Amino acid sequence: MPWVQKEITLPPFRRGCHLITDLVLASLADLKQFRVGLLHVFIQHTSASLAINENADHDVLADMEMALNKIAPEDLPYVHTIEGPDDMPAHVKAALVGSSVSVPVAEGKLALGTWQGIYLLEHRNRATGRRLVLTLQGE
């Protein structure tokens, strides 16, 4: 089985950083069949992003949200404002963090480090469920 691709929709999350590793894994029953490979996770949105980060201390996530808000505050004189004051900063944050992550697969499991997890970074105040494309390649 060299390739598997699935689309999933995450439930709506409030603004901030949210651990989604278990939601991704729940959608990948085929993962156990892969001895070696790579999982690519892509978000189909421009106002949220994906990252791999600390999954033990929740202070890291609060600090990430604070730092991103300092980098792209809502009170800058943005031109694109039709969707509200949180929209353009969300686009900036998504461009900085990125729209995908890749994780190695080893012996049917994600080869994440001890303290690593896959995160959805929701940059909007009121977002709908976010769509992800999961692409698994390997043998």
For the chain, helix (H) and strand (E) counts, in that order, are 3, 8
For the chain, give every domain's residue range: 3-138
The whole-angstrom distance between residue 135's C-alpha and the CA centroid of its chain comes to 14
CB 35 within 8 A of CB 64: no
In the β-sheet with 116-122, what is the strand arrangement from edge to edge?
Answer: 16-19, 116-122, 48-54
Q: Is the dihedral of CA 15, 12, 103, 133 positive or negative?
A: negative
Q: What is the pLDDT of residue 2?
A: 86
Q: Give the pTM.
A: 0.96
36-85 tens-digit pLDDT: 999 999 999 999 999 999 999 999 999 999 999 999 999 999 999 999 99
Q: What is the pLDDT of residue 1?
A: 65
CATH class of 3-138: mainly beta
81-118 tens-digit pLDDT: 999 999 999 999 999 999 999 999 999 999 999 999 99
What are 80's two structure tokens? 């694109």
